[in-house]
Structure 1
Amino acid sequence: MTVGESTEGTYAHLLAEVRAAGLLRRRYGYYAMKIIANLVVFAGAWVAFAFLGDTWWQLLIAALLAVVFAQLAFVGHDAGHKQIFRTRRPNNAIGIAHGGLIGMSYQWWIAGHNRHHANPNHEEHDPDLDIPALAFTSRQARMKQGFSRWLAKHQAVLFFPLLTLEGLNLHVSGIRAVWRGETRMRRLEGALLTAHLAGYLVAVFLVLSPGLAVVFVVVHQALWGVYMGCSFAPNHKGMPTMTGSPPDFLRRQVLTSRNVRGGRVTDFLLGGLNYQIEHHLFPSMPRPHLRHAQPIVESFCRKHGIPYVQTSLARSYRQVLEHLHQLGAPLRAADSARRA
């Protein structure tokens, strides 16, 4: 089969192969240990925070909490895809609880994330491409005006600095969605977000002097934002985008996704999102099975002539930045010509 031929029906064969390998069975023990370990570190970090008191060493706790917040978010992500339990209700319970711990609206996030999975890198339908501060397609770049145009011109340089605001964006977007009644379980999530915000700020400003407290919050939230952005950005940014009627499910997911090579350390740091192709093809596959599905999927794609992209973590970031730089080039050239 060539790339231009239809791949309709071939996904069923791949699904059967993956199911026969036992890669869709639940991993209750794995997730129990993962959740317990995360909660122990989370609690331990706050205990250490209380014992350290008003000292600049607390910035190490801020960095640790940034990592823990990301790990908790990864579990919430897995719950949203029903990777932990087979039915939605217990997965939602896990997701909402984890969202409450880190100050995110789980229901708001999963609604947008499901839209992304349905149409990854689709210019009209993927909410992950609709970011006002950045342009991911040439059409988006041309439409930028004013300050947004300036950001788009320099977006490659500004990309990582802008990620420091991602944590704040997750908090604010969740609170806004709950306030507007745009999420299910509005009262529960509203109570959890309120408790998180109040508990977090009271703890920080009670233990630390005002100046250090502000620095702690900024460092923690900025590092968490960078971590989250660096975990999700390599997956699709710089890959082909789509408009109009997308191709079949198999090609839609594979052609727009990029895998990141690495061992178990990379798997841990990126929460399994480094197996983005496999995750998009089998969203409910438990995280520890993705690494076993990878060679099966790669071999299948090669056999059917479907481009399968996999690169190193450093190279993935380079490709993202190169893509952003190229999209900003016409804007920079137009402004230079206007000034000449």
Structure 2
Amino acid sequence: MLMLFFGPLIMLNTGIITNAFSLFGLYILSGLGMAGIGMGVMHDAIHGSFSKKRKVNQWMGYTMNLIGANASVWKIQHNVLHHTYTNISESDDDINAPFFLRFSPHAKRYWLHRFQHIYIWFFYSLSTISWITSKDFVRVKRYKKMGFFKGKNEYKNTIFEISAWKLLYYSYTLILPLIMVPLAWWIILLAFISMHMVTGILISIVFQTAHVMPSADFPLPDKNGLIANNWSVHQLATTSNYSPRSKSFSWLIGGLNYQIEHHLFPNICHTHYNKLSSIVATTAQEYGIPYLIKKSFWAAIIDHIKMLRSLGRIEAVHQK
């Protein structure tokens, strides 16, 4: 996946590419590699499950920075907020969306949400462009207010780190191609955007079809801020698997089709999820706990579309 991302960029930066068709093709290939790094490399590494060695996980986690985002911010967004408060409105940052998108039945509904199942694909495709530009800066500021980055100069150092990594990222993905490729700047920029559109839509669909589903729960905390179920049961109720029989598909997306097992055992490498799934499914059945699963990725996408359409039409439940 690292070679699939860097290989096309190296070719672009040599200046041997002289036509738009090859330019777009190489950028799109690089986008596939970027998605692969996001799902199959940095994801395990930042969870500490890529390797038994902490330093290896730390260094492989920096692949997140190499694709334009930031590992420190992602760790809070994903490891802390998403994995702890899965599908809990206003706490799980994966379902905290801009006003024009609605991922929870407890979020405020606007009239334009009636069409979100149609226009959402455009915004999914732009999701990583948001990441490489403003998203990390917005979130690091918000996370500071939430009590993260408390250490001396930690917040300033993180801002500097984000800026430096992004400058490095832009240098080999856009600035050097603009210098080396003998084509109009706007063609190169469009090809760069196409790379991110491929990455954005792939990553968004893989992650969102695991939680924003008709069968998934969206529990609300009580007046004391507590959820009724214990953490393990909560993960089973809010998470869904899909396409469990396709080993090749599972390899391509870093085992994220086994989201239930990932949420229960985030510190275990995704290569073990296939074998773990039968144990988890049997145990869930034994105790009468839901084990949500779709036979194919396509079936999961269809259900996700149905859920988006439903969320665009139902009023908020217990809206604050």
Does TM, normalized by the shorter one, top 0.5? yes
Counterpart residue number, 1:29: none
Q: What per-residue deviation string (whole Å, max 9, x for no partner) do you get for residues 178-232 of structure 1?
A: 6899565524443222111233221231213223112202211111111111111
Contact 1:178 1:190 in 2 (8 A): no
Q: What per-residue deviation string (whole Å, max 9, x for no partner) do you get for residues 76-113 of structure 1?
A: 111111102346554223212x0221111111111010
Counterpart residue number, 2:44: 78
Which amino acid in the other structure matches residue 258 of structure 1? S
Which amino acid in the other structure matches residue 220 of structure 1? M
Larger radius of gyration: 1
Shift of 1:285: 0.8
Counterpart residue number, 2:121: 160
Secondary structure of the 1:52 match is coil
Q: Which moved more, 1:49-58 or 1:292-301?
A: 49-58
Contact 2:34 2:67 in 1 (8 A): yes
Contact 1:124 1:243 in 2 (8 A): no
1:83 & 1:226 partners in 2: Cα distance? 25
Q: Which is richer in helix? A: 1
- Cα distance 1:93–1:319, how it changes in 2: closer, same or farther (>3 A)? same
Which amino acid in the other structure matches residue 218 of structure 2? T
Contact 1:66 1:227 in 2 (8 A): no
- Cα distance 1:272–1:136, how it changes in 2: closer, same or farther (>3 A)? same
- The one of 92, 108, 113 equivalent to 2:78 is 113
- 1:210 paired with 2:188, answer no
- Cα distance 1:181–1:203, how it changes in 2: closer, same or farther (>3 A)? farther
Q: Which moved more, 1:191-200 or 1:252-261?
A: 191-200
- The one of 277, 281, 297 equivalent to 1:313 is 297
Counterpart residue number, 1:287: 270
- 1:138 paired with 2:138, answer no
1:181 & 1:249 partners in 2: Cα distance? 23
Q: What per-residue deviation string (whole Å, max 9, x for no partner) do you get for residues 261-299 of structure 1?
A: 241221123221100000001001111111111111111
Shift of 1:65: 0.9
2:166 & 2:310 partners in 1: Cα distance? 39
1:151 & 1:107 partners in 2: Cα distance? 34
RMSD over aligned CA atoms reads 2.1
Where do 5+ consecutive residues of structure 2 fail to align? 316-320
1:44 & 1:210 partners in 2: Cα distance? 21
Where do 5+ consecutive residues of structure 1 fail to align? 1-37, 332-340
Counterpart residue number, 2:174: 201
Contact 1:105 1:178 in 2 (8 A): no
- Cα distance 1:277–1:158, how it changes in 2: closer, same or farther (>3 A)? same
Q: Which moved more, 1:194-203 or 1:40-49?
A: 40-49
Q: What per-residue deviation string (whole Å, max 9, x for no partner) do you get for residues 22-68 of structure 1?
A: xxxxxxxxxxxxxxxx3333332123334323432221112111110
Secondary structure of the 1:259 match is strand
1:219 & 1:42 partners in 2: Cα distance? 14
2:196 & 2:3 partners in 1: Cα distance? 20
Q: Which moved more, 1:45-54 or 1:253-262?
A: 45-54
- Cα distance 1:196–1:253, how it changes in 2: closer, same or farther (>3 A)? same
Counterpart residue number, 2:2: 39
Which amino acid in the other structure matches residue 43 of structure 1? F
2:284 & 2:121 partners in 1: Cα distance? 33
Q: Percent identity?
A: 24
2:167 & 2:9 partners in 1: Cα distance? 19
Shift of 1:330: 4.3
Counterpart residue number, 1:240: 217
2:240 & 2:308 partners in 1: Cα distance? 16
2:194 & 2:230 partners in 1: Cα distance? 43
- Cα distance 1:56–1:123, how it changes in 2: closer, same or farther (>3 A)? same
- 1:103 paired with 2:68, answer yes
Secondary structure of the 2:21 match is coil
Secondary structure of the 2:97 match is coil
1:136 & 1:105 partners in 2: Cα distance? 24
- Cα distance 1:195–1:47, how it changes in 2: closer, same or farther (>3 A)? closer
Shift of 1:318: 1.1
Which amino acid in the other structure matches residue 289 of structure 1? H
Q: How many residues align?
A: 287
Q: What per-residue deviation string (whole Å, max 9, x for no partner) do you get for residues 142-201 of structure 1?
A: x24xxxx24312111112121111111211212445689956552444322211123322
TM-score between the two structures when normalised by the length of structure 1 = 0.78
- 1:64 paired with 2:29, answer yes
2:161 & 2:282 partners in 1: Cα distance? 45
1:53 & 1:181 partners in 2: Cα distance? 44
Which amino acid in the other structure matches residue 252 of structure 1? H
